[in-house]
Amino acid sequence: AQSVTQPDIHITVSEGASLELRCNYSYGATPYLFWYVQSPGQGLQLLLKYFSGDTLVQGIKGFEAEFKRSQSSFNLRKPSVHWSDAAEYFCAVKAAGNKLTFGGGTRVLVKP
């Protein structure tokens, strides 16, 4: 069965600093991978997705992620964090029937 691990429960970063969130997946076939963001009291918003092709994918809000098959990873990055990036971030893999399996999430705190 597929699974997703996000090793970091919390990350604190200073505004303007770079951010990297880790995601490792377990899946038997070529994975469809996603990153979602959840701001307080809000639903999930899709940041970016990977299906195939270029392993570096660009998303909204200045985020990017790199798929590394050899490491079973799909880490999310942003070069310069803004205070509005404080939120919880979820990595997910698509399973059969289009349902998503999510990681446990990483909460990002941004220091001024």
Partner 1 sequence: GAGVSQSPSNKVTEKGKDVELRCDPISGHTALYWYRQSLGQGLEFLIYFQGNSAPDKSGLPSDRFSAERTGGSVSTLTIQRTQQEDSAVYLCASSITGSRSYNEQFFGPGTRLTVL
Residues that bind partner 1 (CB under 8 A): 32, 36, 41-46, 49, 51, 90, 92, 94-95, 97-105
- On the CB side of 40, CA atoms within 13 Å amount to 5
3-state secondary structure of 48: strand
d(CA 1, CA 101): 10
State in angstroms the smallest separation of the CB of 24 from partner 1: 15
70 or 96, CB closer to partner 1? Answer: 96
Nearest distance from residue 14's CB to partner 1, in Å? 28
Q: Are strands 19-21 and 24-26 parallel, antiparallel or unpaired?
A: unpaired
* Residue 25 or 36 having the CB closest to partner 1: 36
What single DSSP character describes residue 17?
S
Residues in contact with 41: Cβ distance below 8 Å, sequence separation at least 6, in sequence order: none
Q: How many residues does the chain have?
A: 112
CB nearer partner 1, residue 57 or residue 92: 92
* Closer CB to partner 1, 15 or 27, in the complex: 27
